[in-house]
Chains A and B, each alone.
Chain A
Amino acid sequence: MAIYGTALLALCTLLGAALGELLGHVLHVKANVGGVGLAMLLLIAAKAWLARRGKLTPGLRLGVEFWGLMYIPIVVAMAAQQNVLAALEGGPMVVIAGISAVTLCFALVAVLGRVMGGRHG
């Protein structure tokens, strides 16, 4: 049943968020540390475990995959509620800091990809 997949996804997301909060608390940080990433790792592990036991039914897959497919529309909705006006009206300091940081990081993606890619063949 599809709800099993969605419930599994919900369980992994909740556990990951809780672990992220816990990690933040232990590290004395006022933020969730890697909650989404931890939830993703949990879901990957759960999928492998279910596959081994032959319990990865089409219905269950559908319940997870639907939300994966809804990701782009959700991101579009996210973009539609950004405070774009404030971002553009922040003045020259904001614009200069934003543009230089993003440009530098784009360049570093290229450098890192080339250097590390070469090492792994």
Chain B
Amino acid sequence: MGDIVQKILADQGLVLAFAVVGGLMLASTAVSRHLTGGRIHASAIAILAALALAWWGGVLTGGKKGLADVPGLAGLALMGGAMLRDFAIVATAFEVDVIEARKAGLMGVIALALGTIVPFVVGVGVAWSFGYRDAVSLTTLGAGTVTYIVGPVTGAALGASSPVIALSIATGVLKAVLVMTFTPMVARLIGLDNPRSAMAFGGLMGTVSGVAGGLAATDARLVPYGALTATFHTGIGCLVCPSIFFLIVRALA
């Protein structure tokens, strides 16, 4: 009996992940309906529960992949990995209203510019106040505040130390987690209820995982618009952080 369970867990990872996530969605829908009267979106509850489980997985295994490090749940890494995530995000474009998207074009560009500059300046400022003075560390920590991919890419390009790169990744991951968690709560406050503001949101927040999770938990119809701008964010960050931004920081520091 134990052998059969072992074999299924080892051979059917992705299928098992589908079943686990399905169960989590079912439980979240029940919680949303019966405990919150439908006020909190089932997707938001599911994402929060998944983050909590990821924390628990980290405590349990000491690994870096949250719940996916728990033996038998490795399939979650494939189901929630970049390949299927990007595949599903592209599929949401099938429902995009081209006219709406075009109208928000200029706003998307402005949002992308602000979404790169503002977090970078915040990150550099906070790092400065914590005693960092060399341009390489300051730039890497600023880049990590843009997204958790821009941080290590910039750090590697500039030759930053390993602890600084780790801190920049942690900042980016925390940003993604915060965006996933708080977007549904502040959505009404910041007017996030139409395709145009979703495109501004995607460009400003940047982190694809944060934007994807945050919008999914708020209103699934807005996902493609936010994803459309957010996807350019990491590339732009990796372009300007180790080059222009580094030169500016070095001149000032």
Cα A104 to Cα B186 in complex, Å, equals 13
The number of inter-chain residue pairs (CB within 8 angstroms) is 309
Cα A79 to Cα B145 in complex, Å, equals 19
Please classify how large the interface on chain A is, using the bins under 10, 10 to 19, 20 to 34, 35 or more. Answer: 35 or more
Chain A neighbourhood of B30, CB < 8 A: none
User: Does B130 contact A105, Cβ atoms closer than 8 Å?
Assistant: no
User: Does A114 contact B191, Cβ atoms closer than 8 Å?
Assistant: yes
B residues in contact (CB < 8 Å) with A: 17-18, 21-22, 24-25, 43, 46-47, 50-55, 57-59, 64-68, 76-77, 79-81, 84-96, 98, 103, 106-107, 110-111, 114-115, 118-119, 122-123, 126-127, 130, 141, 144-145, 149-150, 153, 156-157, 166-167, 169-171, 173-180, 182, 186, 189-192, 196-197, 200-201, 204-205, 208-209, 212-213, 216, 220, 223-224, 227-229, 231-232, 234-236, 238-239
Contact of A82 among B51, B191, B231 (CB under 8 A): B51
Q: Which 8 A-B pairs have the closest CB atoms?
A: A77-B80, A85-B58, A33-B235, A90-B170, A78-B80, A40-B93, A79-B50, A67-B91
Chain B, interface SS category: helix
Chain A neighbourhood of B130, CB < 8 A: 92-93
A residues in contact (CB < 8 Å) with B: 9-10, 12-13, 16-17, 20, 23-24, 27, 29-37, 39-41, 43-44, 47-48, 61, 64-68, 70-102, 104-110, 112-114, 116-117, 120
Least distance between B240 CB and chain A CB atoms (Å): 9
User: Does A106 contact B98, Cβ atoms closer than 8 Å?
Assistant: no
